[in-house]
A and B are shown apart, each in its own frame.
Chain A
Amino acid sequence: MKILICLSNVPDTTTKAKFVNDNTAFDTTGVQWIINPWDELALTRAIELKSDAANSIENITVITVGEKDVEPTMRKALAIGADDAVRIDAEPTDAYFVAAQIAEYLKSNPFDLIFNGIESADYNGSAVGGMLAEFLNIPSVSAVSAVNIENSQVKIKRDIDGGTEEVTSELPVVAIAQKGIAKEPMIAAMRGIMMARKKPLNVVAPVEVEALTGIVNFELPQPKPPCKMIEPDNVKELVNLLQNEAKVI
């Protein structure tokens, strides 16, 4: 079985959003770039699955649509334990564009189990995984909190609105991972970091695709009025305010 993880390169989650060029571009000054947290959990789960020989996983590949500056993040994935990496050399303009690029690559390079994170920490579109599956006319399972392989069948646990379900899917399948799929992201060991330098990172030319959406500009949230402080021995007053001022209870 071959596993693919679609990686996004995103600002570290502690990053404060700032913009430049009349608020049309994200200010990357001093930003630390990381593997999108959900993609990292999916990668972790893939490595866990591969470590059990009974699952017969031959390869874990990571793929990113991005320009050369995403390569350090891809090397991190190789250091954590992916076997090889593919970078489609294009600026990721929107989810449709990204999914179309990956789909095109997969038409000649098939995989069995494809992971996407449930959203990316930048544009929060929750979209690439489902789009990719539709481009390839294969099933997708979303909000996935567990993946196991039993007798070469992929068993997936997913959240539905108000519960969980176990899903068995034909392969190939796109599993869209959320929290829970792995307990904690795996951290690269020194040996992994050394090995990552030698692992293949193939660069592929993009195909022509037109993005369907375009960002006009960004805005920062309006500052909130200051917090109204209540004395700790007067919780009654808080309840009174919640009832009569905020009118939320």
Chain B
Amino acid sequence: MSVLVFTENWDGKFKKISFELVSYASKIAEMLNVQTVALSIGDVQEDELKKLGNYAADKIISVNNDKLKNLDNQAYASVIAQVAEKEGAKVVIIAHNNTGKALAPRLSVKLKAGLGAGVSKLPSSVEPFTIFKKVYSGKAYSNLVIKSDIKILTLSQNSFEFEENVKSPSIESFEPALSDDLFKTTVSNVQKQTGKILLTDAEIVVSGGRGMRSGDNWSPIEELAELLGAATACSRPVSDEGWRPHEEHTGQTGKIIAPNLYIAAGISGAIQHLAGISSSKCIVAINTDKDAPIFEAADYGIIGDTAKVLPDFIQAVKELK
């Protein structure tokens, strides 16, 4: 029996979320007294695979098949299910990101396994299997019991303090059965964002709202982001006005993020915006309106105009470096 964790790599290198997932899975494996098995799909070299052992994977299963070059949800879910059955997985751990959100529900039906989506903590008990998750877009939490024999959890990014616990895992390659009727989609025109920090992966995010007055005033946001190694984001009115692309919209109906530091410049903090950012570890608010709701969510606040505060902010960060 095992806890199975589905890892993700990018061009053969594991993403940080994969280490968070393995570390999280190993803690649940400990609670259940079973092995932690990590599954990797793609062309990943042995040295890289071994890194999963640093976060307490006991066994690594590598699937490398040309048919799986692009994400096909049906095919990927089938591969994970095959490995889950082979390894007697009691719990399957997947990232709560685009890929994970696409796969976990399919797997839930395949394995008749109840899904706990978007967890950020370990289960409070394994008998009954009880998890804690956000509901109502972060305005509340629920304790949820998963009643099925097999359970699937998706883990929110940057929510779990993962730790090193070095093991020397065995590495095994696996050839899944991949019938042609699993592949009903074709992928073309792949556009990868290169050299840019992804909003959902970023540890620091600098975000602008209507208080920036115009899309032409964005250079201080970009400069500060560049200096801090941060991603840029915006509030909904800003993306609705077309000042910034919709991909940058953070909030209930846009991206939900949980960086270590979120800097909100000229954002008043409507409840829908707060729903998208409230899991951030530290929030800085800059706003001219002292009654803006953003200050209730923020850790640090400055009542002032972004046009003046941001250049000072940039200067202060420059002096630091």
Residues of A within 8 A of B (CB): 11, 13-17, 19, 26, 37-38, 94-96, 99, 118-119, 121-131, 133-135, 137-143, 145, 158-170, 173, 176, 179-180, 184, 211-221, 224-225, 227-233, 235-236, 238-239, 241-243, 246, 248-249
Do A141 and B185 have beta carbons less than 8 Å apart?
A: yes
Residue from the set A26, A131, A236, A242 with the largest chain B CB neighbour count within 10 Å? A242
Supply 21 A–B pairs (Cβ within 8 Å), ascending by A. A121-B137, A121-B252, A126-B104, A127-B115, A130-B73, A135-B109, A138-B184, A140-B73, A140-B74, A140-B102, A161-B98, A162-B192, A165-B70, A167-B185, A170-B184, A179-B246, A212-B115, A216-B144, A218-B142, A235-B312, A238-B284
B148 at the interface (CB under 8 A from A): yes
B8 at the interface (CB under 8 A from A): yes
Q: Looking across the interface, which residue of chain B has its beta carbon closest to that of A217?
A: B143
A215 to B116, CA, bound (A): 11
B316 at the interface (CB under 8 A from A): yes
Residues of B within 8 A of A (CB): 8, 10, 15, 70-74, 77, 96-99, 101-110, 112-118, 130, 133-148, 154, 184-193, 198, 200-201, 204, 228, 240, 246-247, 249, 252-254, 260-261, 270-272, 275, 278, 281-282, 284-285, 295-305, 308-309, 312-313, 315-317, 319-320
With known contacts A143-B101, A169-B184, A248-B282, A227–B295 Cβ distance under 8 A? yes
With known contacts A139-B184, A228-B299, A216–B117 Cβ distance under 8 A? no
Closest 9 pairs (CB-CB, A-B):
A130-B105, A232-B304, A212-B114, A142-B102, A134-B109, A163-B192, A235-B312, A17-B140, A248-B261
For the complex formed, measure the closest distance between the CB of B299 and the CB atoms of chain A, giving whole angstroms: 6
Do A169 and B282 have beta carbons less than 8 Å apart?
A: no
New A-B pairs, 6, CB < 8 Å, besides A131-B105, A135-B109:
A26-B136, A215-B143, A216-B130, A220-B139, A228-B299, A241-B300
For the complex formed, measure the closest distance between the CB of A63 and the CB atoms of chain B, giving whole angstroms: 17
Do B109 and A96 have beta carbons less than 8 Å apart?
A: yes
A167 to B73, CA, bound (A): 12
A225 to B209, CA, bound (A): 24
A17 to B110, CA, bound (A): 33
Q: Looking across the interface, which residue of chain A has its beta carbon closest to that of B134?
A: A124
With known contacts A139-B184, A163-B193, A179-B254, A128–B144 Cβ distance under 8 A? no
Q: Please name all residues of chain A whose beta carbon is closer than 8 Å to the beta carbon of B113 when the two chains form the complex.
A: 212
Q: Looking across the interface, which residue of chain B has its beta carbon closest to that of A166?
A: B189
Do A127 and B105 have beta carbons less than 8 Å apart?
A: yes
Do A134 and B105 have beta carbons less than 8 Å apart?
A: yes
With known contacts A159-B98, A213-B145, A239–B105 Cβ distance under 8 A? no
A230 to B192, CA, bound (A): 40
Q: Looking across the interface, which residue of chain B has its beta carbon closest to that of A169?
A: B185
A130 to B77, CA, bound (A): 10
